[in-house]
Amino acid sequence: MRVRPIRDLPHFRDLRAFVRHLDENKLLARVTERVSTVHEMTEIHRRVLACGGPALLFELAGRNDGSKAEMCVLVNLFGTVERVAWGLGVGRRRLGELGELLAALRELEPIDDLRGALQRWPLLKAGFATIPVDVGRPPVQQKVYIGTQIDLGRLPIQICWPDEPAPLITWPLVITRPPGQDRTLDYNMGVYRMQVLGPNRAGVRWLSHRGGAAHHRLWAAEGRDMPVAVVIGADPATMLAAVLPLPEGMSELRFSGILRGERPRLGRCVTVPLMVPADAEIVIEGFVSAKETAPEGPFGDHTGYYNAVEPFPVLRVTAITTREAPIYVSTFTGRPPDEPSIIGEALNELFVPMLRRQIPEVRDCWFPPDACSYRMAIVSIRKRYAGQARRVMMALWGMLVQFSYTKLIIVVDDDIDVRDWRDISWALATRMDPSRDLMVTDRTPIDYLDFASPLAGLGGKLGIDATNKIGSETSRKWGRVLAMDPAVSQHIDALWDRLGLGRSGTFSNSDARGS
Ligand SMILES: Cc1cc2nc3c(=O)[nH]c(=O)nc-3n(C[C@H](O)[C@H](O)[C@H](O)COP(=O)(O)O)c2cc1C
């Protein structure tokens, strides 16, 4: 196997290096007009994101009390799939290769086998850089606020949508570890939004299956508050590692070194026993109570609705540390497209190689972003035997916890482009019969945020087999797909320019359908 370096972009040691890179490539817009963090940023961000626009640096952010914020606000950082790929260190075309790397990692024993992974995976070997460097005086501690100096109100935290009850930290990288020895290998880092409850208090909304929630249960079982470090603004590999589907037990913070092509530079927190990215912009340190909870929400969510109010644990802040002139990174979540749905699109491409390893007949798979990135899937397969589409549905639903949230799966043959609704519609219209090709199950685990399910966390699933029927699946003569004689097509290709009909080149099936 040819060893290619994992990265084909420059190294971005910190957020500022990435922002500079975007600026040089005309993918950063500086907004010098005064813009309020209350609703206005969301509205501007929403419009720019919808047309694939640049990252936005608000240089004059108006704070919630009407005064000018002390720092700039950066939004839409990952507002296109290309920028997500760049953040991961590769051009857009190479996302699939990174997916192969992730698929290989999944097949290894977690953590202890990382060293083994070095030998067994040349691509990984080329970029292997997960051993942290302990930075004595981390830049993120250029300013340290403790005791009465702590005030979350100093940060330009957005209120994204009308009727939301409080400012919401939307891009926090929440770092936790289990009780016991402080080993970075055991660290978890996930993005869990945080509602500001006061100058030194915030709620942390980790869903119960998240790594942070699992760590919290371990500390709470010992009756102890859990040390937590919340990073806002870091190099792009660190930010994206926090949302990657890494194998269970693999530390996102350390994995980021593979993507960045540089070992993680970590600094010791001031008030909690944890390490954080030394070159981050802002770190909020504190302890999440073993017992105390506070109602969270309602806030706008990635589904396009307001969430129901629910209790989540409370973080008591013990320090805020920042670089000089820090950049505050923010986003909104709402009906797709929003930034998480764009990231989801990029992650979709990373997922496909893993799927193929687990279910070899799968050719491609697409989670339409408009269906909240995971609630619907279109899967194409190379079909060989009767009943195969149903087997693939069941395999998918059982494969990962995330797939149990996919309430509709449409299976098609591999001549169908899973990303093209015209192709999918044609397959549904011509290869599917509702009395034979639907598989409905009920009372299965489902996203508890899905209020359409009859019970919270328990709902139905629908599988639609839109493949050609073969063997005992049908007793009728099946249709034959229309296709032009290739010799005629070639002849017309050669003749085309002389016909004076405008567009030249080959006339594919999709052209024939009027694209
Ligand atoms: C902008 C953004 C906001 C998110 N907000 C939340 C959230 O509030 N709660 C949550 O559980 N997951 C949220 N997620 C998803 C998780 O961060 C993501 O699934 C992550 O991989 C979870 O990490 P874990 O498996 O280590 O817990 C968010 C993701 C993004 C990109």
The answer as to whether 351 is a domain residue is: no
Atom 28 (ligand 1): residue with closest C-alpha? 191
pLDDT of residue 103: 81
The answer as to whether 334 is a domain residue is: no
The CB of 216 under 6 Å from ligand 1? The reply is no
Give the amino acid at 142: Q
Task: Name the domain count of the chain.
Answer: 3
The interaxial angle of helices 388-399 and 339-358, nearest 10 deg, is 120
174 and 222 assigned to the same domain: yes
Query: Comparing C-alpha atoms, which of 365, 437, 448, 354 is closest to residue 405?
Result: 448
The CB of 247 under 6 Å from ligand 1? The reply is no
The CB of 329 under 6 Å from ligand 1? The reply is no
The CB of 206 under 6 Å from ligand 1? The reply is yes
pLDDT of residue 35: 97
Q: What phi, psi does 287 have (nearest 5°)?
A: -125, 135
Residue 294 CB: number of other CB atoms within 10 A?
A: 17
10-residue block means of pLDDT along the chain (515 residues)? 65 97 98 97 98 98 86 98 96 90 69 57 59 95 98 96 98 98 96 98 95 97 98 98 84 90 95 98 98 98 96 98 98 98 94 92 97 96 98 94 93 98 98 98 94 96 98 97 97 94 63 46
490 and 387 assigned to the same domain: no
311 and 278 assigned to the same domain: yes
137 and 230 assigned to the same domain: yes
pLDDT of residue 43: 98
312 and 452 assigned to the same domain: no
The answer as to whether 348 is a domain residue is: no
463 and 489 assigned to the same domain: no
Residue 26 CB: number of other CB atoms within 10 A?
A: 8
Atom of ligand 1 nearest to the CA of 189: 26
Q: Can you tell me the distance from the alpha carbon of 152 to that of 157, in angstroms, rounded to the nearest whole number? A: 8
The CB of 243 under 6 Å from ligand 1? The reply is yes
Q: What phi, psi does 8 have (nearest 5°)?
A: -125, 15
Best substitution site from 243, 448, 449 to test ligand 1's pocket, by max atoms within 8 Å of Cβ?
243
307 and 382 assigned to the same domain: no
Candidate list 14, 235, 301, 364, residue with the active-site label: 301
Give the amino acid at 515: S
pLDDT of residue 126: 46
The answer as to whether 141 is a domain residue is: yes
Q: Can you tell me the distance from the alpha carbon of 75 to that of 331, in angstroms, rounded to the nearest whole number? A: 5
Atom 17 (ligand 1): residue with closest C-alpha? 191
Q: What phi, psi does 267 have (nearest 5°)?
A: -125, 150
203 and 314 assigned to the same domain: yes
164 and 279 assigned to the same domain: yes
66: left (phi over 0), alpha (psi -120 to 50) or beta: left
**C-alpha distances out from residue 47 to 38, 40, 51, 61, 173, Å:** 16, 11, 7, 18, 25
pLDDT of residue 337: 97
Q: Which domain holds residue 47?
A: 15-329
Find the CATH number of the domain harbouring 391. 3.40.1670.10
Q: Which of 278, 308, 329 is the last residue of a domain?
A: 329
Cα-Cα-Cα-Cα dihedral of 74, 75, 80, 85, to 10°? 40
The answer as to whether 339 is a domain residue is: no
Q: How far is CA 219 from the centre of its chain?
A: 27
The answer as to whether 436 is a domain residue is: yes
Q: How far is the CA of 174 from the centre of ligand 1 (A)?
A: 9
Q: Can you tell me the distance from the alpha carbon of 496 to that of 488, in angstroms, rounded to the nearest whole number? A: 12
Find the CATH number of the domain harbouring 57. 2.30.110.10
pLDDT of residue 205: 98
**Residues 322/281, Cβ–Cβ less than 8 Å:** yes
Q: Which of 290, 310, 329 is the last residue of a domain?
A: 329
What SS3 state is found at 173? strand
Enter the tokens of residue 40. Answer: 């206005």
* Strand stretches in 183-326, DSSP E: 188-191, 194-198, 201-204, 226-232, 265-268, 275-277, 282-296, 310-322
What SS3 state is found at 292? strand
456 and 488 assigned to the same domain: no
pLDDT of residue 133: 94
Q: How far is CA 404 from the centre of its chain?
A: 17
Spatial neighbors of 86 by CB under 8 A, at least 6 apart, are: 9, 18, 21, 236
Q: Is 413 part of the annotated catalytic residue set?
A: no
pLDDT of residue 333: 98
Q: Can you tell me the distance from the alpha carbon of 206 to that of 341, in angstroms, rounded to the nearest whole number? A: 18
299 and 201 assigned to the same domain: yes
Q: pTM of the entire structure? A: 0.93
The answer as to whether 3 is a domain residue is: no
274 and 172 assigned to the same domain: yes
The answer as to whether 341 is a domain residue is: no
